[in-house]
Chain A
């Protein structure tokens, strides 16, 4: 235990830098993932004939082992944070896309019919009915993607993108278990922290009328 504390104290520069890199990698990839998956989800919810194939493609990406995906991308893009971000975005897509699609398509048809019958345009139905009602689903997807991304971002070290994986890897190479722990623990805390924050956001955005 003592050794662990001294390790943290000695390597605090390394750990803090790695932590911020890690946050940067997870946050940016998540943000871009949302920006891609959310509109894509809305698109396939409206044009359902494309839904199967598009969700299928993201599912195939998901099945590639993460270590292998980083490996595949290096010859194509090179090393650095760009490669790491692309890999992380690919992993973030599926949960957000699938939940957005499920959320939008599971909105009660009678509510949409009522909206249409009252003269709402397709976009008004999307913004005023479908999205608010699908929001709990979408948020759940984003939360899943977040935990996933924070975990996988540890592999960014192998493409030279830094992050807490650096600390863990260094610890492994030097048989320094304290250093491994000093890298792994913040990853876990970060994942939990992000999840809690998003849970609060989810509660905030869930329409009041749905909680009764």
Chain B
């Protein structure tokens, strides 16, 4: 299942700054993993380790258990798609020639390449007949980055790296491309590593989010996990309380968040539960014994009691605050 893994990776630049500090993490296959963090946190450096645009000072990066430092960097890069923030299309080549770049480098047949170019352009909804022979500067920013994505996908790589690919675009194109990427990923199921500093973008498109700070990984989790549980204040602050409250699914809320609704007295049979369990889990317990109350405990102390009717009330309140 695992495709890319970092083992004790450290990167120290010549000036002494530590961009990455002893990072060990695995990035799952066929999922879109977003690396996010404030600028200077090492997120781009971490991503560039994968195609060896950066090399670790110590530690090792593996793709499918093979250490990538033993591979030829040029071959490695040809097997990994790469999309950059500044798009980086070659202005003197046509759209077709740009997309065909890697297939040509690895020696595909002409007909094969040209079919592939048409297929990719159609996939990102650019009519090949119109755009194939145009030059990058004749296209809008959004269209250029669509071509950038096509170029990265051209030779059908298993892994695609995207370095803040949409951050230079206007908000409308950005949102459109995020949606398109989301749909595209459902179809192609590649292992995508996506660097961004935009939390909304991350929550929208990611299967997994890696939050970084000062060269270290603070938390790795799915978007819904990260919204319902943050390891520390930094993560909480970085995501922002508004998003945490606004985007969380009701079922993922923790019981302790509903504290204001708890009863303090009991008139029925109770079952002790931890305050950190989610509403979903609580409903699951109550489904079997609908008549009882849950005794919500935190560190051995009883916070209060709640049953079905409390959860119903909480759900009503929740939908009311949901802007």
Residues of A within 8 A of B (CB): 108, 110-111, 113-121, 124, 128-129, 132-133, 207-210, 212
Contact = CB atoms under 8 A, between A and B. Distances in A.
B90 A119 contact: no
Contacts of A210: 91-92, 137
A118 B92 contact: no
B87 A132 contact: no
A209 B51 contact: no
Given A114-B82, A116-B77, A119-B78, A209 B87 contact: no
Given A113-B84, A118-B101, A119-B102, A208 B135 contact: yes
Given A110-B88, A111-B90, A210-B91, A121 B74 contact: yes
B75 A119 contact: yes
A115 B90 contact: yes
Contacts of A208: 92, 135
Contacts of A128: 90
B53 interface: yes
Contacts of A108: 86, 88
Q: Which label, helix, strand, loop or mixed, suits the secondary structure of the A interface?
A: helix
A208 B135 CA distance: 8
20 contacts: A110-B84, A110-B87, A110-B88, A111-B88, A111-B89, A113-B88, A116-B53, A117-B84, A118-B101, A118-B151, A119-B75, A119-B76, A119-B77, A119-B79, A121-B74, A129-B90, A132-B92, A209-B135, A209-B136, A209-B137
Q: How large is the interface on B (under 10, 10 to 19, 20 to 34, 35 or more residues)?
A: 20 to 34
Interface in B251-275: none
A124 B104 CA distance: 12
B94 interface: yes
B105 interface: yes
A212 B137 contact: yes
Contacts of A118: 77-78, 82, 101-102, 105, 151
Contacts of B138: 212
Contacts of B179: none
Nearest to B138: A212
Interface of B: 51, 53, 74-79, 82, 84-94, 101-102, 105, 135-138, 151, 161
A14 B90 CA distance: 52
A131 to B, nearest CB: 10
B136 A110 contact: no
A1 B138 CA distance: 55
B80 to A, nearest CB: 8
Contacts of A115: 88, 90
Contacts of A133: 91-92
Contacts of B101: 118, 120
Given A114-B90, A208-B92, 9 more contacts: A108-B88, A110-B85, A111-B90, A113-B84, A117-B82, A117-B84, A119-B79, A209-B91, A209-B137
A114 B84 contact: yes
Contacts of B78: 118-119
Nearest to B77: A119
Nearest to A121: B74
Contact of A207 (B86, B91, B102, B105): B91
A120 B53 contact: no
Contacts of A207: 91-93
Contacts of B86: 108, 110
A116 B102 CA distance: 11
A117 B151 CA distance: 12
A119 B92 contact: no
Contacts of B161: 117
